[in-house]
Amino acid sequence: MHAVILDLNGLDVEAVEAACFEMGAYSVVLTAQRDDAIFESKPGEIRLWPATRL
């Protein structure tokens, strides 16, 4: 099993995630690149960190 770490730096998260699955990824994990706070999101809203790592 291999792991790939990618700093998104403004890339479209959903497009990158879809490309990973098309290439055979079993899962994708999104985390923060930095220590940025994320506050509770509204119902139905998905918030990501300003600097996101996949």
What DSSP assignment string belongs to 7-45?
B-TT--HHHHHHHHHHTT-S----EESS----PPPPTT-
| CA distance linking residue 4 with residue 23, whole number of Å | 12
Residues 6 or more apart whose CB falls under 8 angstroms from that of 52 comprise 7, 8, 13, 30, 31, 32, 33
Token digits of residue 10: 């403004």
Q: What is the pLDDT of residue 4?
A: 87
Any idea where the domains of the chain sit in the sequence?
1-54
How does pLDDT run along the chain (54 residues), one tens digit per residue?
788 888 988 899 899 999 999 999 999 998 887 777 767 777 877 777 778 888
Note the pLDDT of residue 16. Answer: 93
